[in-house]
Structure formats: structure tokens, C-alpha cells
Amino acid sequence: MRSARPLLLCLVLFAVVNDVALGTKDSELKRCKHQCEALQKISEHQRAECYEKCEKYHSGKQQKQQKEEEDTYSLFPYRGREEEEVQETENNPYVFEDEHFITGIKTQHGRIRVLPKFTERSKLLKGIENYRFVFLEANPQTFVVPNHWDADAVLFVAQGRGTLNLVRKGKRNSFNIRPGDVVRVHAGTTAYLINRDNNENLLIAKLLRPVSAPGQFEHFFGPGGRENPESFYSAFSSEILEAALNTRRDRLQRLLGQQREGVIIRASEEQIRVMSQHEEGGIWPFGGESKGLVNIYRQRPSQSNQYGQFYEVDGSHYKQLEDLDISLSFGNITQGGMLGPIYSSRATKIAVVVDGEGYFEMACPHLASESGRRQGSESGRETRIGSSYQKVHSRLRRGMVLVIPAGHPFVTVASNNQNLQVACFNLNARDNEIVPLAGRNNVMSLLEREAMELGFGLPAREVEQIFRSQQEEFFFQGPGGRQSGRADA
Amino acid sequence: MRSARPLLLCLVLFAVVNDVALGTKDSELKRCKHQCEALQKISEHQRAECYEKCEKYHSGKQQKQQKEEEDTYSLFPYRGREEEEVQETENNPYVFEDEHFITGIKTQHGRIRVLPKFTERSKLLKGIENYRFVFLEANPQTFVVPNHWDADAVLFVAQGRGTLNLVRKGKRNSFNIRPGDVVRVHAGTTAYLINRDNNENLLIAKLLRPVSAPGQFEHFFGPGGRENPESFYSAFSSEILEAALNTRRDRLQRLLGQQREGVIIRASEEQIRVMSQHEEGGIWPFGGESKGLVNIYRQRPSQSNQYGQFYEVDGSHYKQLEDLDISLSFGNITQGGMLGPIYSSRATKIAVVVDGEGYFEMACPHLASESGRRQGSESGRETRIGSSYQKVHSRLRRGMVLVIPAGHPFVTVASNNQNLQVACFNLNARDNEIVPLAGRNNVMSLLEREAMELGFGLPAREVEQIFRSQQEEFFFQGPGGRQSGRADA
Amino acid sequence: MRSARPLLLCLVLFAVVNDVALGTKDSELKRCKHQCEALQKISEHQRAECYEKCEKYHSGKQQKQQKEEEDTYSLFPYRGREEEEVQETENNPYVFEDEHFITGIKTQHGRIRVLPKFTERSKLLKGIENYRFVFLEANPQTFVVPNHWDADAVLFVAQGRGTLNLVRKGKRNSFNIRPGDVVRVHAGTTAYLINRDNNENLLIAKLLRPVSAPGQFEHFFGPGGRENPESFYSAFSSEILEAALNTRRDRLQRLLGQQREGVIIRASEEQIRVMSQHEEGGIWPFGGESKGLVNIYRQRPSQSNQYGQFYEVDGSHYKQLEDLDISLSFGNITQGGMLGPIYSSRATKIAVVVDGEGYFEMACPHLASESGRRQGSESGRETRIGSSYQKVHSRLRRGMVLVIPAGHPFVTVASNNQNLQVACFNLNARDNEIVPLAGRNNVMSLLEREAMELGFGLPAREVEQIFRSQQEEFFFQGPGGRQSGRADA
């Protein structure tokens, strides 16, 4: 039923629409529309489209919710339907689907989709408001026009084969890139890209840390024209440009008057061929592992069994990540397998579903405390003191993005018919520890017997038995592959 | 009248109620109530209690104020009654008493009291909004249930004898703790605690620096049940738990269905005995000074005379404080003695009165500028240009917490019948200098004679005489021990 | 027409009033007045003056705008009048003139002018909200009273000859300072200053980074009296001072009752003479280059040709700048010359025009996106996708301050009759690269031929010809010195 293909996947993942939770529907709709406006450089037309999306998304949500409620099943007696409903109507700010992106740049040959500032989604994400997330998608045999950003960036190649050019400190470096590659791009570097494949789209996930205004960044295009893209040269007076470039005005007008096909454009086969072949800089993978990038799939997995593999890249593998305090991880959960429950001791994860399907659960005290008041007043119970947690639940699909804050226990489950692959950008990565809550060496099994007894109110022997039954580590057989009640140790 | 007992105390301290200043009474009352609501996970009942406290506190304040006004005496002719009143009706956001705490967790066996985010008190505290302060108090022979936080923490043991267990990176370390111990706990560490004393409460002051959302942190309980505390395990679907722990559902239900006695619970003598004795990890103080903690009382005092002693612990004594850029200091002011005036060049202090009574004065330009407008328009004087300072004055009592910003001159005075002991968390501690404003090597005595002359508008000889009369350093005989006008040099 | 005088200047510069852009006039007027109130410690009288300035400034602006519009000429056909007007009525938050400063402290002998928090000007400046900018101007033969700040500071001596005294860690250091000197002053250092010149004002530009509350700082005066300046000693109870200083009350009253002439006061020739001569500390420039300061004019220029020279000082020249992550640069553009276009890869520049006149242009995507909506809806064009840039244009005059964010291409042009000199504080300086957009090694000339072709939509040969015509580097002959169309390569 499940084969342990040596594929890849990670930690974290994505929300079924009915968990995205409505809050008051009106306020979320309002927020959604607000995001349309917040997008910089959006045209009227795009805004209209964006608004429409909001409307559609929200009406769709109500319908789906109806359906999902019927699908919901709860085996745990004290996690009943009633509580689930509370959860479904509260907001889940940790999950991002297509609807949450805004198309920053779009041509017939590809698109660049940008997540709004995380704090526009929820105040709970204030800790990562200084980061931005972008998906770049380029069709086969296309060219992304040279530009620089006022942000440091880490790129993860999710799909396709391309060539990346980086111009920095008076030198140009070229890299042939392929899935699993991780590249750090310094703020202000002029970068351009080709998709050199004939068939497959090139898909790159990009984490940005703006250097200028927190959480805000811009693309600066040198090449371009008067518009689409506009060249920043065209913002200068013509007498300035004439003097600086020592060139006649008519030539400048010609230079800046041609290109208007957009940021991602079609390249000829010959152009692709030439740009894929040059040897300048370290063309990877020829000539040994270049320092310019690293491939996460080529690392030795830090966790591996029949249910999955886990790979990591940090400053010790790729020095350029060090000053950013960012690491990357990649998990491949075999079909029918699961990862966790675990938590990160200090890193917040921004996770991208690279391939496959499945679902995700996380225990969140913040959402619980927000909804707690209401629950309390409804039920009339006033005795609860201490922490409580709300389950964040989400289906996972390709292209979804998920935020998992430090300290929050979570679990990821692959569907029964496909491996689930997830790449994670880990922010605040230095000294981070992944803490296991089940399986070998789980943290509960390390407590003293007296602490078990007092903590759970049960004889230590019983507690030990439960927390030492699972022999695997990190990746386990998922719930779908088990007959309920069968596999007790 | 005063003996130089080798006791201990520190820098900073606390506000008599009539100095907490009313602002407009209504607005402070409103703010107080707002804090009630801001507390996360508070029940309706707790909120009601909290409201009541606000009301009581504010009506009490008005009465006390009446009384204090009668006690007020002002010897300095141009610091008259009128000005004091202005001060009393302005807000003093630097002092925290019982009323400002909110009981996050409370059982019959102890309580965990949390200060709201500092910025909820005043915008002036924005510089420390990323830190939180907590008092933990556990009754004799009790157990604090294992949990982790999404925050780095520094613990200071103010009173009692306990055992602290820290589970991190697959290892458990146990420490017998006693007054003066300083322990850094990394974010995500699972910690539990016993008070192993038969009579004395265990009192721990805790400074937290959240890693996830700025200024916001949560406790995550693994052990627990459905509530009080809720285990985060119970947030997961039962089929997930069955699969992850490889255990039958009925066992899980039993595991998560027992404990409901709260976060701090009573332990048996036998349980205490066993948990106090283990040798795993470095049980301090046996086997040499453990790297896991340091005791501030065992350091050589950096300042010491008959009026007091001053102790410090920073990254050079205890490496684990280094990356946090936090140091601790402890001052013991002998009864009738005083500390300062001094200021910190760059650290902001969060000070806790550990024992004794006394008072505190600080010069604050921020409050002065806020009240300045009103004074100006009332008095009709318009000639004042340049800085001015308001005196922040506060009685000091055990358990009070005080914030002293960098650069602000302050002084702390012990009562005539008891030593005053204060522990300080110093934020932004690297390269901090404590600058003396009186006594040997005070900064004024280091000025050139011409600068003295021009700065004070007096012959240099007179200025020198004043600033060089005090032979002691750092700690001095306090004002209560002097006959006015007697002790001139 | 232009002589390459060995003078000095830098990068960045300043806004003609009509570019300061009105937003809605009312809202800017309101903001201006708000800044009057935001100034701390302002008297009623000063506030009235400040209000008046606002009114005058704004009415003047409208008139000037009229005039400037007539002067505007646009040679670039697709940068027409219409678009310029849009620009002129949008806000330009990057340029600061006299009107934007508020006189924090003013006496007949000098003044200290403070820029409000940058974020009070615009949200676009959020990245530098933690920094403050101050001009200190002291008349000949004056003394600035000793004080300390709760901020780290970097001083740049723009004009005059003074002596600076710094008291820190129990030692006093004296420095004779002169134009081009850069001094870092640690937070909490007691500093005082004399202008020892008989004729020239001493002018110091000061960048502050508050250590306590972000973006907020205060001066603390030890010497002083009851007011103007008030001594912080006078905020303490007299019994406290008597005890701490071991001094009689009548002496204290005399000490704190004399000085009331303000923060900047006249010194006698004899006092000046004595304070200029002492040898304590490293009196620069005698006895070798002191570690206490560095002179930027004495560095080897990193760029130099007949059109200008460029000097830099960072942590490698002056260790004390390292922990602040700040560098300084200074550009001297020869009359008729120009600097750039260039951009900084990660540093944001706060630039001060030290001498001369000229103008400045910058391409700004943020302003473009703010005005984009309106343009879009007016013109009915909806096809624009991708980035666009607005030209920020500003005349430059002595004393103006300019903010240039990372990534933004800009150019600076000197007038035809005077060198233009600009000093820059570079924030976020570590690893910053200055990227040339014209002249030798400009980034466009480093692209592959295919990338040129695709990016500009022109044959590579044409693109190469344009970007390789200019043989100079960094500094070029400005537009005023060229006959239009003459100098093509």
C-alpha cells in the first residue's frame, strides 16, 4: 500500500479552506480587499480582478464549509463537533493558499506571485513581518529581465531547470539550477534567469528580507523601457543620462523605447542555448560544487526510515546563510506516512508544499486564547485556569504555504497515494532544536517517573508504556495505514 | 543605629502609591481594566476579580494620596509643594506593584503572576516591549508541571529551596536551586520544578524574551489533561495520537483524562525526596560549580563598604547570558544607607525588591516634558529653554518591580530598620558602564575647572569643594542617619 | 569653466521646495504643526514660533511652486510636464530643509536643531526610525555645557575649530576638532565642547541611535541650575543630595541656583585658551592620530578624477564605528561635474550638504506606486504591469539633509560655479556595495549580449555601444558643461 520511494518532503504545510476560518466573514472579506489595495504597483484592472477573487473566495468558502462539516469526523470524545465548529469559524492565519497571493507581475510567459506582509494577515505573525514570500513561475524557454531588489533573498528551486545570473561586485556569476538548489542572493545584486527547459515550468520559492523598509521591497529594472517594465534609467532627466552615458539623446530614446513585453519574456532557442552554456563563474554542477549554491537533495538525510526522509541545509553547509540566520529543510513523507508530532525550539518555519497531498495539525495556544473568552461565556464554566490549545487543521496541496511558529507542536500526514514533499525556510535558525513528542527519545519519555506520575496523574508505569511504545523516530506510519486499535504495543 | 551586615541588595526600586500618579484618574482606571482584558486565557471570573482590584486600587489611591500629602516634606526651596502635586497627578510608568500583575495561573498550591507587556503601561517603555516579567511562587512541597515556552528566559531565585529540571537536546539536567541562583533557560526547553522545602515558599523572578511574536509568549504543557492544564497532546486528533504513539485509544483517553489539579500541585514527601536526590546532570552545589547556573551571592562584590555591597553576573561569569545581552546585579543596602546617585550608560534595568523597605528617586526628562506644557501655561513663564527633569519618587517594598531606563540618574535608600535588597535584570548589558554622580570619581569631579565654572556659573573652587566632599563610593550613609547641616566636609 | 580644486563632497543631497511636494496641503500643514508639538521640552513661545514657521513655509511653497513650474524644462519626451506636475503635488519625504527642523535648544550663542523622528515624515522611512539627526551650531568663543544622552552618536565636524571633551569610564579625553573629523560618542558619555575660533561658527552634524526607547533620546545636564538648563541634580530631594555629596544645604542651593544662561554660553578668551591647550587624553593632531577620532579628508580617496573625489571611513579605518554598523562618506563634486548614477546595495544614506549648490535626482518605485493609482485612473491606461519609478528631483543647498534608501538609483550634480560637498552617514553599512549604473564597469555593461538584447529589445551591439561610451568612472562631466548632442562617443 505504501512504497518507501527515496523522495523528499518536510515539515509543514497547508490549510483546507474550511479551516482558514471566517472570523466574522465581513471583516475577512474587508481584509482581503484591503490586501488588493496594499499591493504595490497594481493596475486598476488587477485591482478589480483581485476584488473579484476575494468575493469568489469568500462565497466559495461558505459552501465548502458546509460540505466539510459533513465530512468531519471526531474520534476523540472530548474534541467534539461543537468545539470543531468554534475552530472553523475562528481565523486560522497560518495557512496561505492561492487566494492569499497577489500577482505582482504577470505576463503570458510566467508570473511572480507575492504574499502580502504577514502582519496584514494577522497580528500573531508580527514576529516574521520583516520577511516576505514570493513564488516565481517561468514558462519553458523564457527569460526574466535583469533586476535588483532592496532585500536579501534565499531562493529554493522547487521545479524545472534554469540558469541564474548574478551580477555583484563587478562580476557576473552563472549557475545552472535544478530542483533542490538553494541560492542566497545579496541585496542589490542584479539577477536574471532563464528557463532552459523545453517543457517544464521553472518554479522558484523565494524568501526575502528587506534591507530598507521593514517588510517592504521593490524590484528595480535597469533594462526595460518606458513601461512594462519601466527602466529606472527612464526616471532620470535626459540631459543627465546623456552626460552620464556620454551618448546622444536619440540613441537613449531608442534604448528606452523598445522593450514593453513585460518582465518574463520568450527567448529564442539560440539565445537559450548560448546563455545555458557559458562557463563564466562557477557553472554548477560542472567543476565541483560551487560555493554559489547548494543542493539540499544531495545532503545526507538527518532523519530517514521507511516513512520518510529529512534533509537540512544551514550555515555549516552553505556559508552564505549564516548572516541571515536562516536554514532550509526538506521533508519527504512516504505515502501513508506521517512526520511528528514535533516542535521547533526557536525557529519559525515558512513551509511550502512542493508536491503531493496530505494534511496538517498543529496545537495553537494563541488561537485558543482568542476564542477562549467566547467559549467560556457560552459554557458557563469558569474553572479553567492555565493554558489551552486549539487544533489548527489543514488539508495540504501543492503550492500551499504554511507558517509554523516556534514552540507549537505539529504533525504532517501524507495521503495514501502520493508522497508529500515540503520545503521549509527556518527563520531564527541558530541553535534551533527539533523536539520530538513521540517515538524514540521523545521528551516525555525523558521525564523522571515522579514527574510523569504528577504531571499526568497516572502511575508512572502506565505513562512510560504509552510514551515508549513507538519504536520509530521522527517519521511514523500514518493513521490511514492502521486499523484502529490494532497496533498497540 | 545601622550595622553593616554582610547582606545583599542592588540598584533599583519602587513606588509609593501616591507617586504612581493618577494622570486623569479615569484614564488610568480605564487602562487598568484594559489590562484585565489583555491577559490571555483569563476566565470571566478572573476578569471580574481583576476589575474589582482596579476599582479598589484606584479608590484606595485617592485616600492614600490624601494622607501622603500630609507626610510630604520638602527641604529644597525650589522643589515646593506645588510642583510635587503636579508630579503626583502625572503618571509614573516605571513602578509596578501587586496591582499591575495579573495572575496567569493560580492554584491553591502557588501562582504564576505575569506583568502585561510593558508598552501596555506606557509608550515610554517601548524599548523593552520585547521582554516580559513573571513571578513564580510555589508553596512548600509542591511540583510545577513540565512545560516549555516560546521564549528565552533568565531565572533568579529570590527565596526558597527547590529542584529545577531542564530537558533539552535529548538530555535531562537537574539543579538544586537556592537564593541567589541565576539560570538561563533556552526557548523550547521542557522545564519542571519542585519546592523541596517543608516550610518556605519558593519564589522565582523570571525575565522572558519571546522568540516568536515580540513581547508575547505562551506556556506549552505536555503533561496535563483535557483542562487545567490542558495537554497540547489533546489538541491532536485521536487517530494521529494513536499512530504517533503506537498506542490504543482507550489508553490515550486515560492518559489525557486524569490530571486536572492545575499547574502547581502538591507532591508527596517521598516524591520530593526522590526528585531532590538524583544525581543526573550537574546537581549543584555538589561536584563543583555547574555550568548550568551561577550564584550571584558567591561572586566577589564589585562595590563594598559599610553601607552596602554590590554583586554582578554577566556573560564573563556565566557564558549562557552572553547571547542574550543580559546581565544580573544584586545590591544589598545596609539599613540607613543609600546607593547612588548613579546612572547606567546603556542598560535598562528591570529591578525586583527581594527584601526590605526604603525608597527610590529618579530624574526623568520624559515625564518632565510631558507635564512641561501644562506647567508652562499655568505659570506663565516662557523663558525655560533646554532640558528639565521630573522627580520620580517611590516607596519600596518587597515584591515591587521597577524599570530604570538608561541614562536616568537615580538613588535608592534603605529604611533605618532593615537592609534593602534588590536584584536587577540589566537589558542591553554589553559595554554598560555605571556612572557615579556623587562620591569618589564622580563624573562632575572629572571636569576641567573652566567647565565647572561655566557649567555651574560658580567659581571652580566652590564646585570642586562640593563634588569632592564625599569620600565614600557608590554606597553612602543615607539621609536618615544624618543631622541636617552637620556633616559638611 | 571648471577647475578641479582639491575640495570635497559626496553622494547625496537636497530638495527644491516645489519637490517637497504638497500632498494635500492641509495635511502637510497639519503634520508640520504636529511636529511643533512633538518637540520635547518646547516652550509656549517656541511653539508659537514653530507654528508661524509652518504657516509661512506653506504659503511660501505655493508661491515658489508657481515659479518653479515656469522654470521646469523637460528634454525627455516621455517625461512631460503633466507627469512632473503629478510628481510635484505628491509628497517627497526624502528631503529635509530648514523648515523640517525644530530648534530643540537655542540661545543667543548658538542652537541645537533636531529633525523629528523620520517616521513622522513618512512611513516610507520606517527602516531608519531608530535614528535621529541633529545639527549643533555654536558661535565663536562659546561653551556647550556638559551633558550626556541616552543614545550612541556619530559626530561629523562640518565647519569650524573646536575642542571636544568626553568623560567616560572615569577618564576625560580632549580632542581638538576641525572639519572632516568623525567622532563616535558612546551612549552615556558626558560630553562638552568649545568653539575655540574667534570668527567662525562651529557646525557639527550628529547622527544618534537611541539605546533606550527607539527613536527617542534626551539630553541629561549635570551642570546647570533650576532651569535653562535644569541640572538633573535638582530633581533629587535636598536631603538626598546633602547625604550623597556630604555637603550643607546652603552650598547646594548656591550650586544649583546660579547658571541660567542656557546650554550654549559665551566663554572668556582665557577660558577658551586654557581649555584648548590641555594635553590630557590624545589631543589631536599632536602626538599622532588619536584613536578617539578620524579625519575623513585625510583618507585616500576611493574614487578620484577631474570631476570629483570620494572619501570613506568605516570600521576598518575607525574601529569605533564597527558595532554601530555605520560608515561615513564624503563626496566633493567639482563645479559642473556630477556623481552617479549609482545605488547602494544595502546601506541607507543620510546625507548632509556641507557646501555648494547643485541638484539631485533619484528613481523611486515607492512614490511611483503611491501615485500610480491616480495616474492610472486618470489616463485610462491599464496595461502597465511591473515596476515603475518616479523621479525625485531636488535643488541642493548648504544645510539640506537627504535620505537615500538602499537600491534606489540616484545622481548628484554640482552647479557650474561652485563645488558641491556632501557628507553621508551610511546606515546598515556592513558589506555595502556602491553599484555604478554608468561609466566604466557599470552593471549593464556586464550583462551577457543575449541578456542585453532581450532586456532592452535592441541588438546587443547598440546596447553595448551606449553603455560603453563613457570612459570615466563614478564622477562625470555634468550636463551643464555639455553642448547637447555634442559629446557622443
- How far is A132 from A112, CA to CA, in rounded Å? 13
Contact predicate C224/B384, CB 8 Å: no
Q: Is B78 on the interface with C (CB under 8 A)?
A: yes
pLDDT digits (tens, 9 = 90+) for C331-354: 999 999 999 899 999 999 999 999
pLDDT reported for residue B98: 85
- Pick C246's closest partner by Cβ from B77, B341, B487: B487
pLDDT digits (tens, 9 = 90+) for C107-120: 789 999 999 999 98
CA distance C314 to chain B (A): 21
Chain C residue with CA closest to B83: the answer is C235
- Residues of chain C in contact with residue A265, where contact means CB-CB under 8 angstroms, are 454
How many Cα atoms sit within 13 Å of B136 on the Cβ side?
A: 26
pLDDT average, residue stretch A354-365: 94
CA angle B341, B343, B347 (to 5 degrees): 150
Chain B residue with CA closest to C265: the answer is B454
pLDDT reported for residue C106: 77
pLDDT reported for residue C192: 96
- Residues of chain A in contact with residue B186, where contact means CB-CB under 8 angstroms, are 345-346, 431
What's the Cα-to-Cα distance from A166 to each of A286, A376, B120, B188, rounded to whole Å? Answer: 18, 56, 46, 38
Q: Which residue is it, cell 546532570?
A: B281
Q: Which of A372, A367, A468 lies closest to A408, judged by CA?
A: A367
Instruction: List the single range of A246-260, C66-80, C278-292 with lowest mean pLDDT.
Output: C66-80
Q: Which residues, including other chains, have CB under 8 Å from residue B126's CB and lie 6 or more apart?
A: B118, B119, C213, C214, C216
Contact predicate B326/B406, CB 8 Å: no
How many secondary structure helices (H) and strands (E) does chain C include? Answer: 10, 26
Q: Is residue A380 over pLDDT 70?
A: no
DSSP label at A290? -
- Identity of the amino acid at A193: L
Q: Which of B370, B468, B430, A136 lies closest to C251, judged by CA?
A: B468
**Partner-chain contact C369 A41, CB within 8 Å:** yes
- How far is C466 from C488, CA to CA, in rounded Å? 9
> pTM of the prediction?
0.81
Chain C residue with CA closest to A44: the answer is C382
With a pLDDT cut of 90, the percent of chain B lying above it is: 59
With a pLDDT cut of 70, the percent of chain A lying above it is: 72
Strands A142-149 and A151-159: unpaired
pLDDT reported for residue A283: 42
pLDDT reported for residue A235: 92
Q: Which residue is it, cell 550595622?
A: B3
pLDDT reported for residue C224: 85
Q: Residue B369 — very low, low, confident or very high, per pLDDT cuts 50/70/90?
A: low
**Partner-chain contact C372 A45, CB within 8 Å:** no
pLDDT reported for residue C15: 29
DSSP label at A187? T
Strands (E), C380-477: 390-396, 401-404, 410-414, 420-427, 434-436, 475-477
Q: Is residue A49 over pLDDT 60?
A: no
pLDDT digits (tens, 9 = 90+) for B407-450: 999 999 999 999 999 999 999 999 999 999 999 999 999 999 99
Name which residue leads in pLDDT, B80 or C485. Answer: C485
**Partner-chain contact C454 A267, CB within 8 Å:** yes
How many Cα atoms sit within 13 Å of A448 on the Cβ side?
A: 28
pLDDT average, residue stretch B307-331: 94
pLDDT digits (tens, 9 = 90+) for C189-205: 999 999 999 999 999 99
pLDDT digits (tens, 9 = 90+) for C14-42: 222 223 233 334 454 554 444 444 433 44
Q: Establish, for the pair of chains B and C, how many residue pairs have beta carbons separated by less than 8 Å.
A: 285
Q: Is residue C161 over pLDDT 50?
A: yes
CA distance B110 to chain A (A): 13
Name which residue leads in pLDDT, A75 or A225. Answer: A225
CA distance B142 to chain C (A): 39
Instruction: List the single range of A46-55, A75-84, C234-243 with lowest mean pLDDT.
Output: A75-84
DSSP codes, C244-297: HHT--HHHHHHHTTS--S-SEEE--HHHHHHHHH--SS--TTTTS--TTEEEGG
pLDDT average, residue stretch B294-305: 94
Q: Is residue C419 over pLDDT 70?
A: yes
pLDDT digits (tens, 9 = 90+) for A149-181: 999 999 999 999 999 999 999 999 999 999 999
Q: Is residue C179 over pLDDT 80?
A: yes
- Averaged confidence pLDDT in chain C: 78
Q: Which residues, including other chains, have CB under 8 Å from residue B56's CB and lie 6 or more apart?
A: none
Please state whether the peptide bond connecting residue B459 to the residue before it is cis, i.e. omega within 30 degrees of 0: no
pLDDT reported for residue A15: 28
DSSP label at A296? G
Instruction: Enter the C-alpha cell of residue B153.
Output: 528566559
pLDDT average, residue stretch A452-464: 93
Q: Which residues, including other chains, have CB under 8 Å from residue C26's CB and lie 6 or more apart?
A: none
Instruction: List the single range of A230-244, A255-269, C352-366 with lowest mean pLDDT.
Output: A255-269
pLDDT reported for residue B228: 76
Q: Residue B371 — very low, low, confident or very high, per pLDDT cuts 50/70/90?
A: very low
- Identity of the amino acid at A114: V
Orientation of helix C44-71 relative to helix C81-89, angle to 10°? 180
- Residues of chain C in contact with residue A175, where contact means CB-CB under 8 angstroms, are none
pLDDT reported for residue A481: 65
CA C234 from centroid of its chain's CA atoms? 35
CA distance A230 to chain C (A): 5
pLDDT digits (tens, 9 = 90+) for A295-333: 999 999 999 999 999 999 999 889 899 999 999 999 999
- Identity of the amino acid at C186: H
Q: Which of B201, B217, B131 lies closest to B401, judged by CA?
A: B131
Name which residue leads in pLDDT, A439 or A380. Answer: A439
pLDDT digits (tens, 9 = 90+) for B25-72: 444 455 444 444 443 344 455 555 545 554 544 444 444 444 333 332
pLDDT reported for residue C408: 96
Instruction: Enter the C-alpha cell of residue C198.
Output: 574667534
What's the Cα-to-Cα distance from B397 to each of A377, B307, B350, B479, rounded to whole Å? Answer: 38, 19, 15, 19
The percent of chain B in helix, strand and coil, each rounded to the nearest 5, is 30, 30, 40
pLDDT average, residue stretch B350-360: 96
Interface of A with C in 394-423 (CB under 8 A): none
Burial of B101 (0-12, 13-18, 19+ CB in 10 A): buried
- How far is B201 from C415, CA to CA, in rounded Å? 77
CA A378 from centroid of its chain's CA atoms? 37
- Pick B407's closest partner by Cβ from C218, C234, C253: C218
Instruction: Enter the C-alpha cell of residue C154.
Output: 556619530
Interface of C with B in 149-168 (CB under 8 A): 149-150, 152, 165, 167-168
Strands A264-266 and A420-427: unpaired
Contact predicate A241/C486, CB 8 Å: no
Q: Is B148 on the interface with A (CB under 8 A)?
A: yes
- How far is B165 from B292, CA to CA, in rounded Å? 11
- Residues of chain B in contact with residue C249, where contact means CB-CB under 8 angstroms, are 75-76, 484-485
pLDDT digits (tens, 9 = 90+) for B237-280: 999 999 999 999 999 999 988 777 889 999 999 999 998 875 44
- How far is C114 from C151, CA to CA, in rounded Å? 14
pLDDT reported for residue A13: 26
CA B277 from centroid of its chain's CA atoms? 31
pLDDT digits (tens, 9 = 90+) for A87-135: 433 468 999 998 888 877 777 899 899 999 999 888 889 999 999 999 9
- Pick C43's closest partner by Cβ from B366, B382, B406: B382
- Averaged confidence pLDDT in chain A: 78
What's the Cα-to-Cα distance from A328 to each of A11, A347, A404, B212, C193, rounded to whole Å? Answer: 11, 11, 14, 18, 52
pLDDT digits (tens, 9 = 90+) for B105-134: 777 899 999 999 999 888 889 999 999 999
Chain A residue with CA closest to B249: the answer is A485
DSSP codes, B415-469: -TTS-EEEEEEEES-TT--EEESSSTT-GGGGS-HHHHHHHHTS-HHHHHHHHTS
**Partner-chain contact C237 B388, CB within 8 Å:** no
**Partner-chain contact A457 B165, CB within 8 Å:** no
Residues, chain A: 489
How many secondary structure helices (H) and strands (E) does chain B include? Answer: 10, 26
Q: Which residue is it, cell 492561492?
A: A98
pLDDT reported for residue C199: 94
**Partner-chain contact C172 B448, CB within 8 Å:** yes
Interface of A with B in 419-458 (CB under 8 A): 428, 431, 433, 435, 437-439, 441, 443-444, 446-448, 450-458
